[in-house]
Structure 1
Amino acid sequence: MSTSEAPSMTQATIRKLVADSVTSALEAQAANMANTDNTTRPREAPIARQCSYKEFMSCQPINFKCIKGAIGLIRWFERIESVFSCSNCTEDCKVKFATGTLTKESLSWWNSFAHPIGIE
């Protein structure tokens, strides 16, 4: 074996090289941003906007039919949370939009629960 052969790289070595490169790039970006003169241009605050029911539905929430028990309910919760995130749904719209996906027994239950306490 000659001394000019490069040692083989292990997965751990490759991961460390990638991590070090990412860390270095992030530090350089942070330094660049800190050195940029932001006094000439004021920062604009992001404008929060309310998502519409159409936008919510375009993210394809699943209807809850109450037929797959607890597992079906957990999957519905997970999907609804994903749709809330994708559609940028605001807190005040979540109940209204999510209940729009209830069907059959779950819709009947919701109506019997919500109407007496004044939830529309």
Structure 2
Amino acid sequence: MVEESVNSYNKPKNKTARPRPVYLWNVLDVQKWLRRHCSDYYQLYHEKFLYHDITGRALLRVNENILLRLGIVNEEHRSDIWREIMKLRLKTDILEIRDIERRNNTNYD
């Protein structure tokens, strides 16, 4: 019963609900993201993300140099993970822009 409520914490209640912002993700949320979006490399690198306590806030700041310092030396792997991080950043930015537009529109009504 408790496990069910913990698992549903991150999931939107309905299709229009906004997911929890990335900058609020904890280390386990990042692990879920890594497993889902970088599944080919998850087994190789998930411990590196854990060891360095990569949270959502940290993930949004990661660049290719940081991935190299984390120990991801394979250029192709690093590039693929970096591309997924960039997609995540873009999605995050789009959600923030929509929030700003929504607030601006309600202020003018």
What TM-score do the two structures reach when normalised by structure 2? 0.28
Task: Considering fraction of residues, name the structure with more helix.
Answer: 2
Larger Rg: 1
